[in-house]
Amino acid sequence: MDIKITTLAGKDAGKATLSDEIFGLDPREDLLQRVVRWQLAKKQQGTHKTKGRAEISRTGAKMYRQKGTGRARHSSARVPQFRGGGRAHGPVVRSHEHDLPKKVRALGLKHALSAKAKASTLIVVDELSVKDAKTKALIATFAKLGLDNALMIGGAELDQNFKRAASNIPNIDVLPVQGINVYDILRRGTLVLSKAAVEALEERFK
């Protein structure tokens, strides 16, 4: 498929032919959901923790005598039914990660790129670079392009002035091409790829 290349200033910079095997697929929601779920699960810290009855610091003495009180029999004040006791079946420190085949992850990325292309929310620019790291100037540039919620993908090396200028703009993310991922593509309204990023993606999926 052919797509127009623009500059950050909004001027025409020619055309590019995108691979149909990467940008021309019919997006599958089930694949995208699987990859996003895998990413978010991997991102979870899993440091949630409550104390069980074995970890509560309380006396081990029997609360009161077994018979003659008319009350239920209890042996420990650490059990969950008492205030200050341990939590029954509470969360423990663990990893939330689960496996997802590498081929499924790669296919998910292709479908995410295809989804943006199909929805006409994919923009290709010649390069993501600016002369000065001025946030105010970059906001004005993005306003001309109609970008208020976007993921910017540059080449292997990002222009530091562009990265610094964009870092303070809300709802704008900037990543090198090796950091591209399904979750970030889908969470932003527009995907902006540099020419270098398109070439790197097509080389990656050869």
Reply yes or no on whether the pLDDT at 9 is more than 90. no
Residue 206: the pLDDT is: 81
Domain spanning 2-44+96-205, CATH class? alpha beta
- Where, residue-wise, is CATH 3.40.1370.10 in the chain? 2-44+96-205
Reported as a pLDDT band with limits 50, 70 and 90, residue 53 is very high
Cβ 196 vs Cβ 125: under 8 Å: no
Q: Can you tell me the mean pLDDT for 70-95?
A: 94
Reported as a pLDDT band with limits 50, 70 and 90, residue 124 is very high
